[in-house]
Amino acid sequence: MVHIWPIGGGKGGSGKSFLASSLGRVLAGLGKKTLLIDLDLGAANLHTLVDVPYPVKCLSDFIHKKIPLLENTVLETPVPNLYLISGAHDSLDIANLPYEQKVKTLKAISKLNYEWILLDLGAGTSFNILDFFLISQNSIFITTPEPTSIENVYRLIRSIYFRRIRQYFNAADFKTLEEEVVQEFGEGSFNKPDCIMQAVKRAHPEKSLQLENDFNSFRFKLVLNQLRSKDNIALGAQICKIIEKHLGFQVDFAGNIAFDDRVHDAVCQRVSFLDRYPYTRTAYDLRELSKRIVNSTSEQLLIRYS
């Protein structure tokens, strides 16, 4: 059974790659065959975090048909059970990945044979990024305690929600829906999930039910990274509550990760922070967080790309 977990955050530098590599390290250590895929095309650096300094092949070899099977772009890492598909040689920005290539990549990922697949997604809310999130009902969102980072992660989650609704309609029906919402609730109401869902319920009751089931099956997890001693430890849970209030679906708080200057040292030394500094608060947080993620059970793949 495959568990696919996209990892993202609205803002660059929040710790997506650090979390992906650390979670991968813990899972591999538990004996789980784990694959990291660097989808932060254009700014890929996950290979450095897992000590594969010169990736000899990467995702673009598959995208550009140099390597026909995605499986054959997989690289071993120095850690047993931990594998990588690097994005190192991809000059392409994921936002500009053409539609056919995106669908081809999504389909290929969903057919890979690993117990855990972690996708390191770049920052931003382009349709392509949103579609990679929607490959699975599971997702991890990471933010720092800074308000700018929180705003961006909220915007990202809201965009995924809208993108999912959009996938249920063709362009014409979606346009009609938009007009109905604006007519009934006023200008600007199309940005409000509640208004859209009310309109969907009235005009497309079957789709509304399917969408509700869909949203109920999502397992979104929020991680608060780089928490310093003066920061509010309850902030993560508060953000989840706000998201639930405004978007109407549940995001579980998965845990805090303490800030530690030695993360920088581990990155510079190209060693896993968990191996180099196992007795730190940050390493403890990462292990606890990983346990919670392993213990959460949703593993179904959406059939859209199978």
Ligand X SMILES: Nc1ncnc2c1ncn2[C@@H]1O[C@H](COP(=O)(O)OP(=O)(O)OP(=O)(O)O)[C@@H](O)[C@H]1O
Q: Which is nearer to ligand X, 212 or 231 (CB)?
A: 231
Contact range with ligand X by CB under 6 A, out of 64-72, 84-92, 130-138, 262-270: 262-270
Of the candidate residues 112, 235, 267, 302, the single one contacting ligand X (CB under 6 A): 267
Binding mask 68-87 for ligand X (x = CB under 6 A): --------------------
User: Can you read off the two tokens belonging to residue 40?
Assistant: 């932060």
Contact range with ligand X by CB under 6 A, out of 15-23, 188-196, 199-207, 287-295: 15-23
Q: How far is the CB of 22 from ligand X (least distance, A)?
A: 9
Of the candidate residues 5, 9, 17, 143, the single one contacting Mg ion (CB under 5 A): 17
Burial class of 220 by CB neighbour count within 10 A (0 to 12, 13 to 18, 19+): buried
Q: How far is the CB of 136 from ligand X (least distance, A)?
A: 19
Residues with Cβ within 8 Å of 196's Cβ and at least 6 positions away in sequence, in order, are: 162, 165, 177, 181, 190
Is residue 40 near ligand X by the rule CB under 6 A? yes
d(CA 255, CA 286) in angstroms, rounded, equals: 9
Residues with Cβ within 8 Å of 253's Cβ and at least 6 positions away in sequence, in order, are: 221, 222, 224, 236, 237, 239, 240
Of the candidate residues 43, 95, 112, 203, the single one contacting ligand X (CB under 6 A): 43
Is residue 10 near ligand X by the rule CB under 6 A? no
- Strand runs labelled E in the chain: 3-8, 34-38, 75-76, 82-85, 116-120, 138-143, 219-227, 251-258
By a kind-dependent CB cut-off of 5 to 8 A, residue 131 interacts, out of Mg ion, ligand X, none, with: none
Is residue 152 near ligand X by the rule CB under 6 A? no
Quote the longest CA-to-CA distance of the chain: 59
Q: Taking the mean position of all CA atoms in its chain, how far away is CA 119?
A: 6
User: In Å, what is the CA distance from 185 to each residue of 165, 175, 179, 197, 206?
Assistant: 18, 15, 10, 12, 22
- Strand runs labelled E in 184-229: 219-227
Is residue 289 near ligand X by the rule CB under 6 A? no
Q: How far is the CB of 117 from Mg ion (least distance, A)?
A: 17
Contact range with Mg ion by CB under 5 A, out of 15-23, 89-97, 167-175, 236-244: 15-23
Which parts of this chain interact with ligand X (CB under 6 A)? 9, 12-18, 40, 43, 122-123, 225-226, 257, 259-260, 263-264, 267, 282
Residues that bind Mg ion (CB under 5 A): 16-17
